[in-house]
């Protein structure tokens, strides 16, 4: 089973520090005092909470409903009572709060009714939806919802399915232990992905510093009779990066701003395959994960930890040394110091490292860049970190984008090799988030402009429509008046010619009186107006009276009787209403 492996450029070999936590098998972490489960644990939409304070929940019960397709559900990690749905500090470098469901365990750890499904009897859509409902996300660290990656491209045939068991970052051993102890379920999970994506080949990449894991996986693959290839790849950080592993195993280089699916390759972490299988074959949503607890502790070990366990409590299990002064989530290359020991373990937490100055001596101060180019040689994405550094530092963000800053995976190789100890990745993160913020502002401004212009257009249109309506009404009025005048003239002219003659003389006479005295004429006009108003009111009254409720006609005797009863009741109720309402209100409060 020798296969031709490829290489990616760059990479570094930091001390692996993995043996410390490999000595002991996976242990189940005990129930913590309180579980703080953040709702937003995956890329995409924030799940909506479906429980509230005081609710009793069972282990595996849905507490956050997926919002949109790229979003994954969140479940209660154990049975207990919901204490609150509130903002709590997050395992995020910002140290800011986000919405969490806080659960007090009742100690019974009682599952909901778990329903294993035979995924082969379901359509691929149903399997994908099931994985979304089970909250299966990429456990390699990026936490992208897995179901979103399980749709084969329609245009590009799926060539290779790459399963990532490389685990290249120092200190972390949770995937290693998972493959050693639970290889069969991992392989079955890979089988599900294979059936959904129908690739030509399945490649499982494991770094060659984990021979036991590779042997266990090979044995499981053989035992299940699957045609998967377990490939040992050279140990070189960051071989576990998705694009790097794809490069090593298939020789395909994923171009900038393209995804691996465009080349017919898809990549999943081994732990993701494991949780997918647990969700399908056991009906268990993702409520726990393996976490390596290592660093400045007495007993480094891998624990199966409930999501939401406070990191401080988990660290206590491994007996941290007294000089521990912080917790790093993730590895030493890409991890960050968590803002508080209270922050919970989330789906993205693969490792906790107890931090101490002895283990991670503080970095000497930054020196000027000497343009040695070591960072460019180490960069696994063949970028030019020193150029990006200049422009990030000068806040010339357009230029950083010309040097493809968004292809940077923040692996930290450049900072690792820099002889001037420049925190290059920090500069790139700063530049990236500034560019994103600007992009957001720009989109918001464009949207505001479009809406403003539309509003102006609408106002103009409404004005024009109103003017048109008024013009039409005026024209109709004028036409009506003209018609009336014509009718009156005709009526006066034809049947009673002598009368009209008399009227004419009268008009002449009245005209004469108008000329003589103006005031009586004004009075007459007022009288005429009053009469017209009175006539209009009479007409309106008649119209109102003419309109009758339609469903009250032709009532049967029974219906009439019913109505009379209702009327009587209504009147009685109306009379006694205040008296009844007052004693009723306090009574309802008491029942609360």
Partner 1 sequence: MDILLAIAIMALGAVVLGAALGFASIKFKVEGDPLVEKIEAILPQTQCGQCGFPGCKPYAEAIAKGDVDINLCPPGGMEGVAKLADLLGREVKPLDAEEKPKQIAIIDENTCIGCTLCIQACPVDAIVGAAKQMHTIITPLCTGCELCLPPCPVECIRMEAITENIDNWKWKYPVVEIKAAPLQKAA
Only segment of 58-66, 179-187, 419-427, 578-586 that touches partner 1 (CB under 8 A): 419-427
Q: Smallest distance, Å, CB 445 to partner 1?
A: 4
Structure tokens at 476: 């109709």
Residue 347 within binding range of partner 1, rule CB under 8 A = no
Tell me if 159 sits within 8 A of 250, measured CB to CB.
yes
Structure tokens at 201: 């080949």
Residue 426 within binding range of partner 1, rule CB under 8 A = yes
Only segment of 67-75, 94-102, 190-198, 575-583 that touches partner 1 (CB under 8 A): 94-102
Q: What is the DSSP letter of 137?
A: B
Residue 434 within binding range of partner 1, rule CB under 8 A = yes
Cα 506 to Cα 151: distance, rounded to the nearest angstrom: 95
Greatest extent of the chain over all pairs of C-alpha atoms, in Å: 129
Only segment of 318-326, 433-441, 496-504, 562-570 that touches partner 1 (CB under 8 A): 433-441
**183-197 and 270-282 are packed helices; what angle lies between their axes, rounded to 10 degrees?**
90
Q: CA dihedral defined by 69, 275, 282, 160, rounded to 10 degrees? A: 80
Cα 268 to Cα 137: distance, rounded to the nearest angstrom: 10
Residue located via tokens 């290839």: 229
Q: Residue from 24, 53, 96, 501 that binds partner 1 (CB under 8 A)?
A: 96
Residue 448 within binding range of partner 1, rule CB under 8 A = yes
Cα 314 to Cα 312: distance, rounded to the nearest angstrom: 5
What DSSP line would sit under 304-321, residue for residue? Answer: EEETT-BHHHHHHHT-B-
Residues 158-177 contacting partner 1, CB under 8 A: none
Q: What is the DSSP letter of 22?
A: G
For partner 1, which is the closer residue by CB, 441 or 523? 441
Q: Residue from 222, 366, 499, 527 that binds partner 1 (CB under 8 A)?
A: 366
Residue 142 within binding range of partner 1, rule CB under 8 A = no
Q: Smallest distance, Å, CB 452 to partner 1?
A: 5
| CA nearest to 203, candidates 271, 275, 279, 270 | 270
Q: Residue from 429, 492, 500, 514 that binds partner 1 (CB under 8 A)?
A: 429
Residues 279-338 contacting partner 1, CB under 8 A: none
Residue 342 within binding range of partner 1, rule CB under 8 A = no
For partner 1, which is the closer residue by CB, 21 or 46? 46
Only segment of 181-189, 207-215, 447-455, 542-550 that touches partner 1 (CB under 8 A): 447-455
Q: What is the DSSP letter of 46?
A: P
Residue 533 within binding range of partner 1, rule CB under 8 A = no
Tell me if 306 sits within 8 A of 314, measured CB to CB.
no
CB neighbour list of residue 500: distance below 8 Å, 6 or more residues apart: 492, 493
Cα 302 to Cα 296: distance, rounded to the nearest angstrom: 15
Cα 234 to Cα 214: distance, rounded to the nearest angstrom: 13
Residues 6-45 contacting partner 1, CB under 8 A: 40
For partner 1, which is the closer residue by CB, 195 or 459? 459
Q: Residue from 67, 420, 430, 521 that binds partner 1 (CB under 8 A)?
A: 430
Q: Residue 243 phi/psi, 5° resolution? A: -65, -35
For partner 1, which is the closer residue by CB, 201 or 429? 429
Nearest-Å Rg of the Cα atoms of the chain is: 39
Q: Smallest distance, Å, CB 298 to partner 1?
A: 31
Question: Count of residues binding partner 1 (CB under 8 A)?
Answer: 31
Residue 370 within binding range of partner 1, rule CB under 8 A = no
Question: What DSSP element (H or E) covers 511?
Answer: helix 497-516
The sign of the CA dihedral 512, 513, 516, 518 is negative
For partner 1, which is the closer residue by CB, 36 or 202? 36
Only segment of 18-26, 222-230, 317-325, 443-451 that touches partner 1 (CB under 8 A): 443-451
For partner 1, which is the closer residue by CB, 394 or 491? 394
For partner 1, which is the closer residue by CB, 114 or 455? 455
Residue 98 within binding range of partner 1, rule CB under 8 A = yes
Cα 244 to Cα 250: distance, rounded to the nearest angstrom: 10
For partner 1, which is the closer residue by CB, 421 or 569? 421
For partner 1, which is the closer residue by CB, 398 or 549? 398
What DSSP line would sit under 271-306, residue for residue? Answer: HHHHHHHHHHHH---S-EEEEEEEESBSS-EEEEEE
Residue 541 within binding range of partner 1, rule CB under 8 A = no
SS3 of residue 146 by DSSP: helix
Residues 72-91 contacting partner 1, CB under 8 A: 90
Residue 49 within binding range of partner 1, rule CB under 8 A = no
Residue 447 within binding range of partner 1, rule CB under 8 A = yes
Residue 465 within binding range of partner 1, rule CB under 8 A = no
Cα 101 to Cα 62: distance, rounded to the nearest angstrom: 11
Q: Smallest distance, Å, CB 378 to partner 1?
A: 19
Only segment of 18-26, 440-448, 463-471, 522-530 that touches partner 1 (CB under 8 A): 440-448
Residue 188 within binding range of partner 1, rule CB under 8 A = no
Residue 92 within binding range of partner 1, rule CB under 8 A = yes
Only segment of 141-149, 319-327, 451-459, 496-504 that touches partner 1 (CB under 8 A): 451-459
Length of the chain in terms of residues written: 592
Residue 93 within binding range of partner 1, rule CB under 8 A = yes
CB neighbour list of residue 173: distance below 8 Å, 6 or more residues apart: 18, 21, 22, 167, 292, 294, 302
Facing residues of 101 across strands?
37, 85
Q: Smallest distance, Å, CB 385 to partner 1?
A: 14
Tell me if 35 sits within 8 A of 344, measured CB to CB.
yes
Q: Residue from 24, 256, 437, 493 that binds partner 1 (CB under 8 A)?
A: 437
Only segment of 262-270, 307-315, 450-458, 581-589 that touches partner 1 (CB under 8 A): 450-458
Which chain residues interact with partner 1 by CB under 8 A? 40, 90, 92-94, 96, 98, 365-366, 423, 426-427, 429-430, 432-434, 436-437, 440-441, 444-449, 451-452, 454-455
């Amino acid at each position: 089973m020798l296969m031709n492996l490829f290489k990616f450029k760059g990479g570094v070999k930091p001390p692996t520090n993995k043996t410390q936590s490999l000595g002991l098998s996976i242990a189940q972490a005990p129930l913590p005092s309180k579980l703080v489960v953040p709702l937003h644990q995956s890329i995409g939409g924030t799940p909506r909470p479906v429980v509230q304070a005081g609710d009793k929940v069972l282990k595996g019960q849905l507490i956050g409903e997926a919002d949109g397709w790229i979003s994954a559900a969140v479940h209660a990690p154990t049975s207990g009572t919901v204490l609150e749905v509130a903002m709590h500090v997050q395992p995020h470098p910002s140290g800011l709060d986000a919405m969490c469901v806080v659960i007090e365990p009742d100690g019974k750890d009682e599952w909901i009714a778990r329903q294993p499904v035979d995924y082969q009897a379901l359509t691929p859509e149903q399997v994908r939806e099931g994985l979304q409902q089970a909250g299966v996300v990429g456990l390699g660290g990026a936490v992208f919802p897995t179901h979103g990656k399980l749709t084969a491209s329609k245009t590009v045939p799926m060539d290779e399915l790459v399963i990532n068991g490389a685990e290249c970052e120092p200190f972390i051993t949770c995937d290693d232990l998972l493959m050693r102890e639970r290889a069969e379920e991992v392989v079955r999970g890979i089988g599900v992905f294979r059936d959904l994506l129908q690739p030509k080949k399945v490649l499982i990449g494991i770094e060659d510093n984990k021979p036991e894991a590779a042997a266990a996986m090979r044995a499981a693959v053989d035992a299940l009779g699957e045609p998967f290839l377990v490939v040992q790849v050279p140990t070189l950080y960051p071989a576990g990066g998705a694009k790097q592993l794809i490069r090593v195993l298939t020789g395909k280089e994923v171009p900038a701003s393209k995804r691996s699916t465009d080349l017919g390759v898809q990549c999943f972490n081994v732990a993701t395959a494991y949780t997918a299988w647990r969700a399908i074959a056991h009906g268990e949503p993702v409520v726990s994960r393996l976490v390596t607890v290592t660093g400045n502790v007495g007993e480094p070990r891998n624990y199966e930890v409930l999501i939401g366990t406070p990191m401080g409590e988990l660290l206590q299990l491994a007996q941290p040394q007294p000089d521990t002064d912080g917790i790093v989530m993730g590895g030493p290359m890409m991890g960050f110091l968590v803002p508080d020991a209270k922050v919970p373990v989330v789906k993205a937490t693969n490792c906790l490292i107890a931090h101490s100055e002895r283990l991670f001596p503080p970095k000497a101060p930054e020196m000027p860049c000497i343009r040695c180019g070591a960072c460019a040689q180490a960069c696994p994405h063949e970028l030019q970190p020193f150029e990006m550094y200049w422009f990030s530092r000068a806040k010339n963000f357009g230029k950083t984008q010309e040097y493809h800053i968004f292809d940077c995976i923040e692996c930290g190789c450049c900072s690792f090799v820099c002889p001037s100890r420049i925190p290059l990745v920090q500069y790139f993160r700063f530049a990236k988030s500034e560019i994103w913020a600007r992009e957001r502002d720009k989109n918001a401004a464009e949207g505001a402009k479009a809406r403003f212009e539309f509003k102006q257009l609408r106002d103009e249109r409404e004005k024009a429509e109103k003017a048109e309506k008024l013009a039409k009404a005026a024209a109709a009025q004028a036409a009506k008046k003209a018609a009336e005048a014509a009718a009156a003239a005709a009526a006066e002219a034809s049947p009673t010619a002598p009368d009209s003659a008399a009227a004419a003389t009268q008009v002449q006479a009245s005209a004469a009186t108008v000329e003589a005295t103006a005031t009586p004429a004004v009075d007459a006009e007022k009288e005429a107006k009053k009469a017209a108003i009175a006539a209009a009111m009479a007409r309106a009254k008649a119209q109102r009276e003419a309109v009758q409720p339609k469903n009250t006609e032709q009532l049967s005797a029974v219906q009439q009787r019913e109505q009379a009863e209702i009327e009587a009741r209504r009147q009685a109720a109306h009379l006694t209403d205040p008296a009844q309402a007052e004693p009723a209100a306090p009574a309802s409060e008491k029942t609360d």
